[in-house]
Structure 1
Amino acid sequence: MAQWQSLQQLDSALQNRVKQLYEGRFPLEIRHWACDLIETRDWDSAAVDENAARTCFHVLLECLDEQWNRSVQENTILQAPNFGWMKNFLLEHLQNDCSNLARVLSDCLKEEKKILDLAAATPICSDQSVVPQKWKELDHNVSELKRKILELKKEIKTLESLNEKLDFIQKTWQSNAVEQNIQPVQIQAQMEQGCLNQAMFITQTKQIVLNQLVNLLNQASQTVATLTDVELPEWKRRQQLACIGSPVDTSLELLQKWFTAVAEVLLGVRDQLQKLQDQNNIYSPTDASNFSASIAAIDKFVLSNVTKLLTNALVVEKQPVMQKLPQRPLILKTGNRFRVTVRFLANLPDFRCLLKVKPVFDKDVEEVKSVSGFRLFDFTTDNSKVLDVDAPDGGLMAEFEHMSLREKLKRSKALSENPVGVTEELHILRFVTVLHHAGQTFNIEASSLPVVVVTSSSQVPSAWASIMWWNMVSTSEPMNLLLFADPPPISWQQLSQLLSWQFLSVGQRGLDGDQLSMLRDKLLSDPEGLVHWSKFSKDESVWIWIDGILDLIKKYFADLWRDGAIMGFVSRHRTSVLLQDKPTGTFLIRFSESIRDGAITFSWVDHSSGETHVHAVQPYTKKELSVLPLPDAINHYSLTAHGKSFNPLVYLYPDIPKDTAFQRYYNVSGAAPTKKNTTDYVGRNLASVSINPTPPPSPPREAPIYEDNNVNNNPLLPGVNCMDNNFDDLLDLPEDIFCPSNQLQPLSLRDAFNDPLLSDPNMMDH
C-alpha cells in the first residue's frame, strides 16, 4: 500500500490528477480498497498474456469478496463501502476483457509513479499546503451555525415544556385543590398570580428565542452570500483555468460540505418557526396575530436565503469532454459521444431522487435569435437523469455519459452572416431541474462553460485556441458568446502562463524562461506587451505550429520532455551560441521552426577541422518518429565523412554522456529492423544516417514555417536526380533513410562514385 499511501499525502492538485487518471477507465474506490493487491500484481505481464490477465482478474474478485466477508464478520456493513457494486462492475465491464483491465492498471500505476516522482522533484511551497485563512474562518462560521441551531432547538423544546406546564396548571389547579380539601377561593389569587408570572416568563423566553433566530439568520445570510457570491464564482474560475491546463484544485469537497450544512440549518430554522407558530396557536391564541406576523416576516427572510442557496447549488462538476480528447474539454464534434457530470451541492437526504435534470442546448441564448448564420444543434437522444448518490463520497450527482449532438436543418441565410467563424462560434449547455420541497418550488439551472462544436477533426486545434482564449479573458457572467466578433488582446504574461500549462498538461513539464523568451519573439510585436487574437491564431498560424509540437510530445516522447532531455524552444542562433564553447560531440534537442505540423531535430558542435561548426540534422517528423523512436535515432545515428562512419553525438547539453541520458529509453539494441518478407532479399535495418556534412559559414536565418517538408529536386541537374532515384532502387536502399537538411546535404549519385568507399574496388566487396 506504500504507493497509494504516498499519493494520499500529496496536495489536492496532484491528488486531482491521480483521480483524473481513473475517470472513465476504472473505479477509484476499487483502487483504494484493493490497493495492496493491485500494487503487488504484475500487470505489465498480464497485459500481454491473456491467461495471466484472467488470473489477476479472479484474484481481484476474491480480494473484494474477502473485504465483504470481513465487514460482515465485524458487523460494519453500514460503514463499509459497497463491495457488491465493485464486484458487479468488474463482472459486467471487464470479465470478458481481462487484458484491457491489465493494460489500464499497468498504465495507471506507471502514471501514479510519475506523479510521485514529480512531487518529489518539486519543492513544496509553504502556502500551498496550508488551508487559506478565509476557508478556516468560513468553516468556523458554518460550525457555529450548526451549534446555534442545536441550541435553538433546545430552547424551543424548553419553551414547549413551559407552555405545557402552564396549560396543565391552569386546567387542573382547582380540581387538585378540592382533592386536597382546599377551597379554590383561598388560593385563587395566588394561583392566578403564579400563572401570570409563568406566562410573562414564557413571553420573555419567546422574545429571546426570536432574537436568537434573527441573529442566527443574519449570520446564515452572510454565509450564504459568501458561498454564492464569492466562493462559488472563485471555484468556477478555478475550473475554467483547470480546463485549459492549469494545475489548480477543483475539488468540491469543501463547497459541498458548506452548502449542505447551511441548507440544513436554514431548513431547520423553518421547522422551528413552524413549531413556534403551532405553540403560539395552542397556548396563546389571543396573542397569535402579532406573533404570527413576526414569524411570517422571519420565515420570508429564511425562504429568500434558502432560495438563493438552492438555486446556486447545481454545478457542472466536469465540463463536457469527448472520450477521444480527454485533455481538451469543451470541444464537441457532431455525432461523437461526450460526457458531462453535474452535482447538487446541498446534499441532504430529503433531496435524493427528487431532482430530475434535463440538459438543453443553447437555452435562452440570444445569439440563436439575433445572429444570422448561427448554427443550431440538438441532442440525439433525451438524456434526462435523476440525481442520486452514485459517487464514493456520497455526493448527489448524475453523470451524462452518452451524449451527442446533431446539427438541425440549415437556416436560410439572412442579409448578414455570422460575424465569427465555425471554430469561434460558442454555445452553451444548460441543465435545468425543479425541486419541490416543503410546499415550495425552486427552479434551478446550471450552465456549462462555452463549447465549440466542430464537424471535422482538422478543426480541433483552432477550436482549442478559441477555448483557451475565451477562458483566459472571460471571468464573469453573463457569458459573452460573441467575444470573437471583437476579441480582446491578452497580455504576454497571461499567454506565457497559458502556453506553459499546455506543455505541463501533455508532458508534465511546463516552459521555462528561455523557452518562453523564444516564443515571445515570435508572438509579440505590440509595444504595450499585448498579444492579439489574429497574431496568435490566424495570420501566421503560430498556434498551429505549437499545437503540432504538443502532439509530438504526447505521442512520441512525453518521457523525454518530462525528464528535461529536450531543450525544445531554442532558436538556431542561440543553439550555436550555447554549443560553440562545448566539447566536440555536445548536442541538444530542439523543436524545428520550419515545419508547420511539428518536428524535432538535434544539433551538435564539431571542432575537429580546426574551426567550430554546429551541424543540425534534418528534423524528424511524426511519420518518421512513428517507426523510429527518438532515443533510438540518437543512439544509432551515423555520420559518414571521409570514408568513415561514426556517431558524432557524445554529450547531451551541457555535459551529460549520451548513454547516461538516454539508455533507459532505448527500445532496441540495434537499428530498427524492417518487416520480415518472404523473398530472398537481404535483411536491412532502419537507421538514421548523414553523409559529408557541409556546415554553413555562419548561423542561418530562421526559416519560415511551411507545411510541406518534401526536399525539392535540383532544377539544374534533372538527369542526375532521376539517376539518383534509379540508383537507390537498384541498391535496395532503406525506404525511410533520413537525409540531412540544408546543413547536411544528401549523397548524390555523382558524389557516390567519387566517394573512396565506392571507387575503391577492394572496398566494394564490403
Structure 2
Amino acid sequence: EVLAQIQQLLGRSETLRDFLQQELDAWRDRQQRACMGAPEDTRLRPLETWFTELGQGLFQLLRLLRALGELRLKVTYERDPLKAETPLLEQRLKELLSYLLQRAFVVEQQPTMPNAFKRPLVLRTATKFSARARLLLRLHDRNHDMEATIHIDRDPPKIKGFRRFNILTSSSKTLLAGDSPQEGLVCDFQYLTLKEQKESRSGKGSKGAGEGPLVVTEELHLITFTLAYAYCGLELELETSTLPFIIISNNSQLSTAWASVLWFNMLSPNLKEHQFFSAPPPAPWPLLAQVLSWQFQSVAERGLSREHLLMLAEKLFG
C-alpha cells in the first residue's frame, strides 16, 4: 500500500512538473520581451516557491524510499514487493528530481553594462558588466559549497572569423544564500570584463562553415553558467545559458548592436542560432511596431500611439 501511494504521488508530481515547465517557459518569454523594453513582470518569487515546495516533497519521498530499502536489507521474504519495486521507484524519482533541478537553474539577470540605458545584451570590451543566475529550488547541503562557473562561448560555432573572448575576472563563485532564506540561492557575477583573444579572427575552428564572417554587430555570443549541485546524496552538474548578446569595442557600434539584439529576439525561434544574421528574416510591421513602442515606453514611460505608428509606417514604407 505504501508503494502504491508513492507511485500515485510520483504521478501527481510529474503533472506538477509539467505545469512548472509551462510557467517557466512563460517567464522566459516575459524576460525576453522585457529585454526589448516591454513592461513585463519578471519576478521569480512565485516560481521559486513552487519549485522549492515540489522539491521538498520529492526529497522527502527519496528519504522514505531509502529507508524502505534499508528495511528490505534487514527483513525480507519471498516475493517481497520492496525488493522489486523500490529500486525502480527510486530511479524514477531521481530522474524527476534531476529534471526539476536542471530547469530550476535560470539566468535571473541577463548580461548588462552598468550604464546601458536600458539596453541589456550589448557588452563592450574592457567595460565592466554583470550577470546573475539563480537556483529556484532553495534546498542545498550547508556542508557542501556549491561552486558556480561562468563560461563564454563554451561551444563556439563554426563560423569563419568568429571572435573568441576571455573573461578577465574570476570565473567561479560559490552559490550563496541571501541574507534571509526567502532571498534564495544566487550567484551574482559583477565587475566582469571581456578581452578578445589574440588572433581570434584567424578562422581556426571554422572548417565546414559555408558563410563568410559576420560583422561585429551581428556576431552572437553566449554565456553559460554551470553549477555543481549536491543535496541528500544527489549530485548533478546544472547548466543554464544567457540570451545571445553582442560584443562591441566602441560606443559608435552601440545603436547597430542594439538593433541586432532587437531583431534577433523578435524573430529567432532558436536562442542558440549563431548564424541567424547570415540570412536574417524580415520583420512583419505589427511586430516591429510593438517593439518600437516598447523602446519609447522603457525610456519615456509612454508608448507610441496609433497615430505615431501610422506616421512611422508612412515614413518607412511610403
Matches of 2:85 and 2:111, distance apart in 1: 47
Query: Which residue of structure 1 lines up, in the alignment, with residue 84 of structure 2?
Result: 293
Counterpart selection for 1:386 from 157, 174, 184:
174
Q: Percent identity?
A: 35
Matches of 1:265 and 1:312, distance apart in 2: 17
Query: Which residue of structure 2 lines up, in the alignment, with residue 449 of structure 1?
Result: 243
Cα 1:211–1:232 change in 2 (3 A) is same
Matches of 1:401 and 1:412, distance apart in 2: 31
The aligned runs of 1:470-619 (5 Å cut-off) are 470-477=264-271, 479-524=272-317
Matches of 1:489 and 1:285, distance apart in 2: 68
Q: Does 1:397 align with 2:186?
A: yes
Q: Does 1:412 align with 2:202?
A: yes
Q: Does 1:253 align with 2:45?
A: yes
**Corresponding residue SS for 1:426:** coil
Q: Does 1:333 align with 2:124?
A: yes
Cα 1:357–1:288 change in 2 (3 A) is farther
Cα 1:278–1:353 change in 2 (3 A) is closer
Shift of 1:417: 6.7
Letter in 2 for 1:308: Y
Deviations 1:160-214 (A, max 9, x none): xxxxxxxxxxxxxxxxxxxxxxxxxxxxxxxxxxxxxxxxxxxxxxxx1111110
Report the RMSD for the aligned CA atoms in angstroms: 2.0
**Corresponding residue SS for 2:108:** strand
Asked if 2 retains the 8 angstrom alpha-carbon contact of 1:374 and 1:418, the reply is: no
Deviations 1:10-67 (A, max 9, x none): xxxxxxxxxxxxxxxxxxxxxxxxxxxxxxxxxxxxxxxxxxxxxxxxxxxxxxxxxx
Asked if 1 retains the 8 angstrom alpha-carbon contact of 2:139 and 2:231, the reply is: no
Deviations 1:132-152 (A, max 9, x none): xxxxxxxxxxxxxxxxxxxxx
Cα 1:391–1:428 change in 2 (3 A) is farther
Matches of 1:291 and 1:213, distance apart in 2: 12
Deviations 1:537-590 (A, max 9, x none): xxxxxxxxxxxxxxxxxxxxxxxxxxxxxxxxxxxxxxxxxxxxxxxxxxxxxx
Q: Give the structure-2-normalised TM-score.
A: 0.92
Alignment gaps of 5+ in structure 2: none
Counterpart selection for 2:256 from 458, 462, 465:
462
Cα 1:435–1:457 change in 2 (3 A) is same
Query: Which residue of structure 1 lines up, in the alignment, with residue 9 of structure 2?
Result: 216
Matches of 1:311 and 1:413, distance apart in 2: 34
Query: Which residue of structure 1 lines up, in the alignment, with residue 136 of structure 2?
Result: 345
Matches of 2:140 and 2:129, distance apart in 1: 30
**Corresponding residue SS for 1:285:** coil
Query: Which residue of structure 1 lines up, in the alignment, with residue 56 of structure 2?
Result: 264
Counterpart selection for 2:160 from 348, 372, 378:
372
**Corresponding residue SS for 1:304:** helix
Shift of 1:436: 2.9
Matches of 2:163 and 2:10, distance apart in 1: 47
Deviations 1:252-271 (A, max 9, x none): 01110111111111111010
Deviations 1:284-313 (A, max 9, x none): 322476422200111111011001011121
**Corresponding residue SS for 2:277:** helix
When you count helix as a share of all residues, which structure comes out higher? Answer: 1
Deviations 1:232-252 (A, max 9, x none): 121111100001100011010
Matches of 2:288 and 2:154, distance apart in 1: 32
**Corresponding residue SS for 1:490:** coil
Deviations 1:69-121 (A, max 9, x none): xxxxxxxxxxxxxxxxxxxxxxxxxxxxxxxxxxxxxxxxxxxxxxxxxxxxx
Q: Does 1:312 align with 2:103?
A: yes
Counterpart selection for 2:154 from 353, 359, 363:
363
Cα 1:226–1:408 change in 2 (3 A) is same
Deviations 1:514-554 (A, max 9, x none): 110011112237xxxxxxxxxxxxxxxxxxxxxxxxxxxxx
When you count strand as a share of all residues, which structure comes out higher? Answer: 2
Matches of 2:310 and 2:99, distance apart in 1: 47
Q: Does 1:440 align with 2:237?
A: no
Deviations 1:664-723 (A, max 9, x none): xxxxxxxxxxxxxxxxxxxxxxxxxxxxxxxxxxxxxxxxxxxxxxxxxxxxxxxxxxxx
Matches of 2:14 and 2:143, distance apart in 1: 25
Letter in 2 for 1:273: L
Alignment gaps of 5+ in structure 1: 1-207, 526-766
**Corresponding residue SS for 1:343:** strand
**Corresponding residue SS for 2:141:** helix
Cα 1:354–1:293 change in 2 (3 A) is farther
Matches of 1:210 and 1:494, distance apart in 2: 52
Shift of 1:413: 4.9
Q: Give the structure-1-normalised TM-score.
A: 0.39
**Corresponding residue SS for 2:304:** coil
Query: Which residue of structure 1 lines up, in the alignment, with residue 70 of structure 2?
Result: 278
Query: Which residue of structure 2 lines up, in the alignment, with residue 425 of structure 1?
Result: 219
**Corresponding residue SS for 1:385:** strand
Shift of 1:382: 2.1
Asked if 2 retains the 8 angstrom alpha-carbon contact of 1:341 and 1:397, the reply is: yes
Letter in 2 for 1:385: K
Matches of 2:143 and 2:109, distance apart in 1: 20
Cα 1:460–1:391 change in 2 (3 A) is farther
Letter in 2 for 1:375: R
Asked if 2 retains the 8 angstrom alpha-carbon contact of 1:352 and 1:389, the reply is: no
Cα 1:329–1:349 change in 2 (3 A) is same
Asked if 2 retains the 8 angstrom alpha-carbon contact of 1:256 and 1:345, the reply is: yes
Higher relative contact order (CA 8 A, sep 6+): 2
